Amino acid sequence: MAISDKPANRRAAAAYNTDIGELFVRRFNVVSIYVAVLVLLAAAIVWSGIKTAEEVQQYHQDYKTLQDMKKQERKLQVEHQRLLIEQQTFSATPQIASRAVSELGMYSPTLKDKLIIQPGVATALVPVVSEDSDEDASEVIGPRASTDISPEEPATDTAAVEAGQ
C-alpha cells in the first residue's frame, strides 16, 4: 500500500471532516421522533392535570351549591309546615261549628233562649217567643244567679224598650 494523503478508512475520514451537528442528525435521526413523542406525552400529561384540577374545582363549587340548596330546602320545608299548621288552625273553627251542629245537636241561641240582665235591677227580662204569634213578648222573672250577658244585644237598649211595654 502506498502512503497517500487519503485515509484508508472512509468512516474515520468522514468523522474528521464533518460537523458534530451533522453527525448527531445522521446518527440520532430516529431519536428525534422519540423526542417529539415524549414532548407530546408531557404536554398531554400537563393538559390532563390542568383539566383534572378544573374538574375538581367545579365539583367543589357544585357541591357547595348543592349544600346551600339543601339548607334552603330545609328552611322551606319548615316554613311549609308552619303554614300548614296555620291553615289548619284557621280552618278548624268552621269544622268545629259544623261538628257541634251535626254530632252534638247544638244550635245558635234564638231570642227565646237568651236572658237579658239589667244592671242595678233585681229582676231580669227574658224574651218569650210564642209559637202562635210572630211578635216577641218579654217576661219579667225574679233574680237568678246567671251572669250570661249576650254581646249581640245591648242590655240598656233592650231593657229600656221592654220596660216601656
For 65-74, write each residue's pLDDT tens digit: 999 999 999 9
DSSP 8: S
pLDDT tens digits for range 10-32: 555 554 566 776 766 666 666 67
DSSP 2: -
Alpha-carbon span 129 to 113, nearest angstrom: 9
Q: Is 47's pLDDT higher than 80?
A: yes
What integer pLDDT is reported at residue 40 of this predicted model? 96
Which three cell numbers, joined as nine digits, stand for 122? 233585681
Q: Per-residue pLDDT for 95 more than 90? A: no
Mean pLDDT, rounded, of the chain: 74
- The residues, ordered by sequence, that sit 6+ positions from 100 with a Cβ below 8 Å of its Cβ are 106
Relative to beta strand 116-117, strand 124-129 is antiparallel
SS (H, E, C) 95-156: HHHHHHHHHHCCCCCCHHHCCEECCCCCCEEEEEECCCCCCEEEEEECCCCCCCCCCCCCHH
Q: Which range in 18-22, 55-59, 139-143 is most confidently predicted, on average pLDDT? A: 55-59
pLDDT tens digit sequence for 31-46: 677 888 899 999 999 9
